[in-house]
Amino acid sequence: ILNVEQSPQSLHVQEGDSTNFTCSFPSSNFYALHWYRWETAKSPEALFVMTLNGDEKKKGRISATLNTKEGYSYLYIKGSQPEDSATYLCAFRVGCCSTGSRLTFGEGTQLTVNP
């Protein structure tokens, strides 16, 4: 059974603060690591797909890094805004073909940014 863990479970920050959270996943048989941003009553929005050890990706104020050897990824938000409030999900995909392309999700980090 694959285990994907995210920490912290929830986070409250003030507008303007920078923040980061962690996703840990199995370091063997890695294929890809996905980050999603999910606001209540909306579709989970794809942020990043990370595939190579050492990958760093950026989208506006949000960036992510990947370490496949030790099995973790960090998501950073610089200068948090109230509209960043959402649940951030990471999802792990094992190597191709043995188990298809299913994603195994962490429990998410719920971020609240106070004005």
Partner 1 sequence: EPEVTQTPSHQVTQMGQEVILRCVPISNHLYFYWYRQILGQKVEFLVSFYNNEISEKSEIFDDQFSVERPDGSNFTLKIRSTKLEDSAMYFCASRNRRGRNQETQYFGPGTRLLVL
One of 86, 91, 111, 113 touching partner 1 (CB under 8 A): 91
Give yes or no for residue 105 binding partner 1 (CB under 8 A). yes
Give yes or no for residue 101 binding partner 1 (CB under 8 A). yes
Cβ–Cβ < 8 Å for 77, 20? yes
Give yes or no for residue 60 binding partner 1 (CB under 8 A). no
Burial class (CB in 10 A: 0-12, 13-18, 19+), 37: buried
- CA distance linking residue 106 with residue 88, whole number of Å: 9
Dihedral sign computed on CA atoms, order 24, 25, 26, 32: negative
Give yes or no for residue 26 binding partner 1 (CB under 8 A). no
Give yes or no for residue 104 binding partner 1 (CB under 8 A). yes
Which residues contact partner 1 (rule: CB under 8 A)?
4, 31-32, 34, 36, 41-44, 46, 49, 51, 89, 91, 93, 99-108
